[in-house]
Structure 1
Amino acid sequence: MELTAPNSVYLDLETTGLNCNGEDEVLEIALVGADGETLFHTLLKPERLKAWPVAESIHGISPDDVVGYPSLDEVLNPVIDLVWGRQLVIYNAPFDLSFLPDAVAEGAAEVRCCMLAFAQAYGEPDPKRGGFKWKKLGFAAEHVGHVWSGRAHSALADAQATRSVWQWLARQGAV
C-alpha cells in the first residue's frame, strides 16, 4: 500500500563537491516516482570542472564516466516537467536545490526535506544547533529497513532510499 501522495517524486543528485556557491556542478540526477519507478536518470557532464577527486572517492563518478553525457542545462526541461505540480521530496533539500535552477522547485506543488523530517521523527536533540541532529541518508535508510537496490551515493539508489525513508515517515504519521 502506498502511504505517500501518489503525485510524489523523489530526487537525488551527485555532485563534484559540497560547494553550494556555484563552483561545484551536478554529475548525476535521478527522479523516482511514488511507486518506485525510475522516472529519469542520467549522468551529466559538468560545463566547467574537469576533475573532482574528493567527490569521486565518495560516489565513484570519474571524469571519464561523464564523457558524452548531456549537461544539466540540456536535461532541465524534462526534469521540470516531471516535477511540475508534484510533491518533490529530497534528502537534504536545501543542498540539492542549491545546484538546480529555481524553476525546478518553483514548478513543484511543494518541496519537502526528508532529512529534516527524519531528524525530527528520530528525535535526537542537537544542543549545538537546537532542534534535532541531522542524520545521513545511509543512517536513515538503515533505520527504516531500506534494502538497497544499488550502490549508496549513486543518485538513483539514493532517490530510492529517500522514498523508503519518506514512506516510513508517513507510516509514523510524521509527514
Structure 2
Amino acid sequence: MNIICLDIETTGLDPDSDEILQLSIIDGAGEILFNEYILPTEHDCWPSAQKVNHISPAMVQDCKPLLYYADTIQRILEDADVIVGYNIRGFDLPFIFNGGIGYDAKPGAIVVDVMIAFARIYGKHDDYHGGYKWQKLRTCASYYSYYKGKAHNSLDDARATLFCFYKIFGDPPKLSRRLTGVYRSTSNFVKRKSPNPVKTVSTPKSGNLMIGFGFFVLLVFFSSFDPFWLVIAVLLLYFGFKRHKIYKIFKQDEVSKQAD
C-alpha cells in the first residue's frame, strides 16, 4: 500500500483566491518525496498568514511557482493508494487542484482526513453543526504525545499528521471506507492557470515628425521674423528631440533583450 501524507502553508484560507507558499509530501515511512517553498503568482504579501506560518515574501521571492512542479506533484499523487492529510479534503487538496495540478485517481485509492477521524475520537460535540467539533493538528498531536517539529511548517505538520494517522488507524493501517475520515479518492481534472497576462509595451513614437515640422516652422520664422513662430519652433524641437531620445532608449533595450 503506497501511503503518502501531505501538508501546505498558504497566503490565506480561501482555496479560490489564496495560493500555496509551501508544499510538503512524505511517504508512509516519513521519507521526503517533495518539500518546496512556492512563489505565489498573484500575491505580493500576506501579512495575516505570515504571522502564523512565518513565511515572508523575501523567503519565496527566488522560488519557483507551483506549476513548475506540476508534473512531479501529479505523479506523486497518482501513484498513491492512500493520501493522508489534516483537513485535506476541505483545505489541502482544493488548494492543490485550484492551483492547477491535475489528478487522475488510481483505482481504489482513498483519501484519509485525520482531522475528521480525530474529531470523533476527541468527542467534543459541535451543537451548531450537529456533529463533532474539529480540532487543531496541535491538539491531535498533543493527544497522541507527539511534540516534535514546529507547527505551521508544512514538513513538520505532515510528519505530525502521519504519526497521528498511524495512532488512529494502526501500523500497518486497517482502512475501510466505512471508517470516519476515510473517503474514496476522486479524479480532479482542472485547467491549469495561465500565467499572468504579459503587459505589452507599445513602441514610443520616434519624434521625427515633430522635429521635421519644428525645422519647417523655424524657416517660417526666419522668413517673417515673427516671434510667435519662433516659440512654436522651439517647443516642437524640444519635445521632438525629447521623444526621440526615449525612442532610442526603447530600441536599445529591445536589442539587449533579444541578445539575452
Higher Rg of the two aligned structures:
2
Residue among 3, 13, 16 paired with 1:18: 13
**Matched residue of 1:107: which SS?**
coil
Using the TM superposition, give the Cα deviation of residue 96 of structure 1 relative to its aligned residue in structure 2, in angstroms.
1.2
CA distance in 1, matches of 2:116, 2:104: 20
Please name the residue that 1:66 is paired with. 60
Partner residue, 1:3: none
> How far is 1:104 from its partner?
5.3
Q: Is structure 2 residue 105 aligned with structure 1 residue 107?
A: yes
Aligned equivalent of 1:98, options 88, 94, 107: 94
Q: In structure 1, what residue type is equivalent to 2:118? A: F
How big is the shift at 1:112?
1.6
| In structure 2, distance between residues paired with 1:81 and 1:58 | 30
Misfit runs of 4+, over 6 Å: 172-175
The 5 Å alignment of 1:25-104 reads: 25-86=19-80, 87-93=82-88, 94-101=90-97
1:166 counterpart letter in structure 2: F
Q: Alpha-carbon deviations, 1:56-104, whole Å to 9, x = none?
A: 0000000000011111111121111112142101100111112112755
CA–CA distance in 1 between the matches of 2:56 and 2:102? 26
Tell me, yes or no, if the aligned pair for 1:16 and 1:56 is still in contact at 8 Å. yes
Separation in 2 of the partners of 1:33 and 1:82?
10
Match of 1:147 in 2: 147
Q: Which has the higher contact order (CA 8 A, sep 6+)?
A: 1
Gaps of 5+ in 1: 1-5
Tell me, in whole angstroms, the C-alpha distance in 1 between the residues paired with 2:135 and 2:104. 26
* Normalised TM-score (structure 2): 0.61
Q: Does 1:117 align with 2:121?
A: no
Answer 1 or 2: which has greater helix percent: 2
Q: Is the 8 A contact 1:124 1:133 kept in 2?
A: yes
What count of residue pairs does the alignment treat as equivalent?
168
CA distances 1:132-161 after superposition (whole Å, capped 9, x unpaired) = 11000011011111131x311011000001
Percent of residue pairs identical: 33
Distance 1:45 1:78 in 2: 16
Distance 1:97 1:56, change over 3 A: same
The gaps in structure 2 that reach 5 residues or longer are: 183-260
Which piece of structure 1 moves more, 114-123 or 102-111? 102-111
- TM-score, normalised relative to structure 1: 0.89
RMSD between superposed Cα atoms in Å: 1.9
